[in-house]
Amino acid sequence: MRNMLKAAFAALVMIGAAGYGHAEQFDDGLAPAYYEAMKGKKVVFLPLAMSFDLPQVWAKGMETQAARLGYDFSVRDPNWSSDAGAQALTTLISEKPDLLIVHNPDMQVYARLLTRAQKAGIRVIQINLKSVATTDAYVGVNWYEVGLHQARMAIEACSPKKGGSGKIAIMQGTPTNPNNAITMSAIEDVLAENPEIEVVSSQSADWDATKAHAVASTVIKQNPELCAYVGLWEVMDAGVAAAIREAGKTDAIKLFTNGGGQKPACDSIANGTFSGYVSYDAFGQARDLTDAIVQVLQANLEPGQAPYAIYTPIRDIFKDTMRANSCWTMDDVANAPF
Amino acid sequence: MSEIGTAQAGGRATARFRVTQESIVFLIAVVFFAGFSILLPGFLDADNILSLIQNVSILGILGIAMGIVVIGRGIDLAMVTTMAMSTAWTIALMNGGTGPVSAVLLGLGFAAVVGLVIGFLVAYVEIPAIFATLAMSTVIYGFGRLALVDLDVIYLPEDAAWLRALSGQFLGIPLPVIWFAAVALAAFAFLRFTRRGRFIFAMGDNREAARITGIPVRPMTVLQYLISSLIAFVAGMITASLLATVNIRVAQSTMVYDVILVVVLGGIGLSGGKGGVRNVVVGTLLIGILLNGMTILDMSFTVQNLVKGAVLLIAIIVDSIANPRDEQTAQQGDI
């Protein structure tokens, strides 16, 4: 009897202990496997550089998620050098992490290394610019779509059918950059369908606001009828905005730009600096990315077996459609769940 | 314009026609200016000419700072980094709630410290300027990223109206043009009329001789880099005011080579001791005219780079034919 009581007590204690150990885990058939898939995994992020908003947002999202799910997250920062990036990638291939998150500087430079990583059994997610090599997943913007949205904004604002002058100018970054090239091809496709729109200037400023300012101030003076400027990156387009402001044409010349949707962008829309803004919502991308991490690690397929993409839903922001949550701040990201 | 060198010092009575690089570049500038004026409607508008100068005024201001250093036989490859970091820190401080006066003073102080450190390394530790400033450029960038600013792009605070006003207009003239003129005049007066200004020429021409004559060569070297760093801060604040943002990636761009380009193009030899503010202005104007004309022509990026490179090459070739290497350059060597 005593022994039986003892055994029963021991059994109760064991059940209790076991129950406590899994207290946070109700087995609904997936949850235990979900947590198991992430626990102790090694995830490494290779950005272009950690010094601008996009990688900071994505990294913050992954950091939060890593703390929640117990995976090991680290960043290798090549600080804008694709050589340093390629070296880091080569080292990583021999270190064999479970998952690599790669931000490509262009479509070619990492292509071969990404294929090698996949062959070495490392899963790879690419973000915001896809390499010619396809890997497990791509999360990010479809640059062609950005171009379509921007071109349509300009046509909507400037078409002679609607009383505009039909004259627009384009401020490119570096023509050889793939995001520049892809966005431009979309703009050219839309313009081909709208012959009433005339491009009076299409210049490159090398993503530099100072150069953009110099070019735009000249173009604006040469083309008094200019209706809109289409710029390919918000930071560079600060220069275009300054040129428009100087010429006293803030109302006459519309400026359409794109970017990741951080707070200063919405400030610029509110004060009329930007007339239209194509946002690829880096905050949303962070959630897409962390979801993709969970998905790739759970599916546990052979690397590269079933590639998929999550293209960022694009958000057009104008002054009158802007809402309190149209843009985000780093504080929002730091306090968001991932 | 061709310069007439009277060669009085040599005691020769006959005036001699001398083709200097400055006059060659000025001639090229005039040819382009005339060509664009005839071919491009709107080029000769007062408005366009002002914006032409405005667009190169930051480059010109930096060029003057670089010119002062180069005349003293040095070079400041850290200038653009100093500009970016000191300005970025000032704006970041303002965003963090520091008062504008203390923010500007701190930024200026940072630039001054950088100039003093570079000057100390070159003058007292005797590291060649090209290596000292190249290394310092990396150090300043790294330190700045680590301790001062953590983002590449820093936006001006919304309420900094006084800062925006720095790039406004005065009597229809864009203020950056006036700042360029002011810096040019100040530098001209310094180089031409002050004793220290003359010392810089003496040092650039022959450092040892200058030293024996009793010129305080080392403190003067420190002064040169101090001046160039402080002017860099001024150029940075004007840029920030104009664009309402500071982008520290400019520190890693090729901008410092553009600055050297206007200095060399204008005819300030890298071997030092020659030239003046006028050379920088001429070099800057040529670049301004070229950029403006090519923008109006809507030339592509690649073609523009090609034209710029070709013009520089032509200027150098003509110069080396007109002014062949002599005994002195052979002894001193170029930089």
Question: In the 8-state DSSP scheme, what is residue A203?
Answer: E
A266 shares its domain with A249:
yes
Interface of A with B in 267-286 (CB under 8 A): 267
CATH number of B22-320: 1.10.3470
Question: Chain B: residue nearest A169 by CA?
Answer: B298
Q: What is the pLDDT of residue B150?
A: 82
Give Cα A287 to chain centroid, integer Å.
10
Number of Cβ within a 10 Å radius of residue B171? 5
Beta-ladder partners of B4: B17
A58 shares its domain with A75:
yes
Q: What is the CA radius of gyration of chain B?
A: 20
Task: Indicate the pairing of strand A276-279 with strand A315-318.
Answer: antiparallel
Average pLDDT over residues B152-157: 88
Asked if B73 contacts B115 with a C-beta cutoff of 8 angstroms, the reply is no
Would residue A336 count as lying in a domain?
no
pLDDT band, very low/low/confident/very high, at B315 (cuts 50, 70, 90):
confident
Starting at the edge strand that comes first in sequence, how are the strands of the sheet with A123-127 ordered?
Answer: A72-75, A42-46, A99-102, A123-127, A137-140, A308-311
Task: Indicate the pairing of strand A167-172 with strand A254-259.
Answer: unpaired
Q: Is A84 on the interface with B (CB under 8 A)?
A: no
With an 8 Å Cβ cutoff, are B295 and A204 in contact?
Answer: no
Question: Chain A: residue nearest B176 by CA?
Answer: A246
**d(C-alpha B235, C-alpha A265), whole Å:** 26
Structural domain spans, chain B: 22-320
Asked if B238 contacts B92 with a C-beta cutoff of 8 angstroms, the reply is no
How far, in Å, are B60, B61, B97 from residue B169 at the CA level?
Answer: 18, 18, 28
Please report, as a single letter, which amino acid is at residue B18.
Answer: R
With an 8 Å Cβ cutoff, are A209 and B145 in contact?
Answer: no
With an 8 Å Cβ cutoff, are A209 and B151 in contact?
Answer: no
Would residue A50 count as lying in a domain?
yes
- Greatest Cα pair distance, chain A, in angstroms, is 103
**d(C-alpha B84, C-alpha A209), whole Å:** 13
Token code pair at residue B32:
């382009």
Would residue A24 count as lying in a domain?
no
Beta-ladder partners of A46: A102
Average pLDDT over residues A143-170: 94
Q: Is A180 on the interface with B (CB under 8 A)?
A: no
With an 8 Å Cβ cutoff, are B48 and A80 in contact?
Answer: no
Q: What is the CATH number of the domain that holds A57?
A: 3.40.50.2300
Q: Select from A48, A218, A234 the residue whose CB has the most chain B CBs within 10 Å, as the one to mutate to test that interface.
A: A218
For residue A174, the chain B residues in CB contact (below 8 A) are: 301
**d(C-alpha A324, C-alpha B247), whole Å:** 27
pLDDT, tens only, B45-86: 888 888 889 889 999 999 999 999 999 989 999 999 999 999
A297 shares its domain with A255:
no
**d(C-alpha B157, C-alpha B154), whole Å:** 9
**d(C-alpha A2, C-alpha A251), whole Å:** 92
For residue A215, the chain B residues in CB contact (below 8 A) are: 295
Asked if A114 contacts A123 with a C-beta cutoff of 8 angstroms, the reply is no
For residue B170, the chain A residues in CB contact (below 8 A) are: none
A61 shares its domain with A113:
yes
Q: What is the pLDDT of residue A17?
A: 46
Q: Name the least confident of A93-102, A181-190, B308-317, B325-334.
A: B325-334
Question: In the 8-state DSSP scheme, what is residue A303?
Answer: T
Q: Which helix (H) or strand (E) holds A205?
A: none
CA distance A283 to chain B (A): 17
Cα–Cα nearest to A62, from A322, A290, A269, A335: A290
Q: Using CB atoms, which residue from B152, B169, B291 is nearest to A214?
A: B291
With an 8 Å Cβ cutoff, are B300 and A217 in contact?
Answer: no
Q: Which parts of chain B fold into alpha helices (H)?
A: 21-39, 46-71, 79-95, 100-123, 129-143, 161-165, 175-193, 195-205, 207-213, 217-243, 255-266, 277-296, 301-322, 327-332
With an 8 Å Cβ cutoff, are B249 and A80 in contact?
Answer: yes
A287 shares its domain with A271:
no
**d(C-alpha A27, C-alpha A271), whole Å:** 53
Q: Name the least confident of A20-24, A98-102, A118-122, A248-252.
A: A20-24
Q: Using CB atoms, which residue from B158, B244, B300 is nearest to A238?
A: B244
With an 8 Å Cβ cutoff, are A221 and B150 in contact?
Answer: no
Give Cα B33 to chain centroid, integer Å.
22
With an 8 Å Cβ cutoff, are A206 and B301 in contact?
Answer: yes
CA distance A158 to chain B (A): 21
Q: What is the pLDDT of residue A7?
A: 62
Would residue A175 count as lying in a domain?
yes
> At residue B7, does pLDDT exceed 50?
no
Q: Is A132 on the interface with B (CB under 8 A)?
A: no
Give B28's contacts (C-beta < 8 A, 6+ positions apart).
B286, B311, B314, B315
Q: Is A210 on the interface with B (CB under 8 A)?
A: yes
A195 shares its domain with A295:
no
Would residue A29 count as lying in a domain?
no
Asked if A257 contacts A107 with a C-beta cutoff of 8 angstroms, the reply is no
**d(C-alpha B6, C-alpha B261), whole Å:** 29
pLDDT band, very low/low/confident/very high, at B268 (cuts 50, 70, 90):
confident
A vs B, Cβ pairs < 8 A, gives: 86
In percent, the amount of chain B with pLDDT more than 70 equals 91
A100 shares its domain with A49:
yes
Interface of A with B in 23-42 (CB under 8 A): none
Q: What is the pLDDT of residue B102?
A: 95
Q: What is the pLDDT of residue A80?
A: 85
**d(C-alpha A216, C-alpha A171), whole Å:** 8
A115 shares its domain with A180:
no
Would residue A58 count as lying in a domain?
yes
Token code pair at residue A200:
């009076």
Q: Which domain holds residue A117?
A: 39-141+283-314
> At residue A16, does pLDDT exceed 50?
no
Interface of A with B in 225-244 (CB under 8 A): 235, 238-239, 241-242
Average pLDDT over residues A248-270: 93
pLDDT, tens only, B170-215: 888 889 999 999 999 999 999 999 999 999 999 988 888 889 999 9
Interface of B with A in 276-305 (CB under 8 A): 291-292, 295-296, 298, 300-302
A273 shares its domain with A150:
yes
With an 8 Å Cβ cutoff, are A208 and B302 in contact?
Answer: no
Count of domains observed in chain A:
2
With an 8 Å Cβ cutoff, are A172 and B301 in contact?
Answer: yes
pLDDT band, very low/low/confident/very high, at A210 (cuts 50, 70, 90):
confident
Asked if B171 contacts B179 with a C-beta cutoff of 8 angstroms, the reply is no
pLDDT, tens only, A64-80: 999 999 999 999 999 88
Q: What was the ipTM of the complex prediction?
A: 0.77
CA dihedral A315, A318, A323, A326 (to 10 degrees): 40
Would residue A265 count as lying in a domain?
yes
Q: Is A49 on the interface with B (CB under 8 A)?
A: yes
Would residue A3 count as lying in a domain?
no
Phi, psi of B55 (to 5 degrees): -65, -20
A161 shares its domain with A218:
yes
Exposure on the CB side of residue B71, measured as CA atoms within 13 A: 30
Q: Which tops the pLDDT comparison, A19 or B314? A: B314
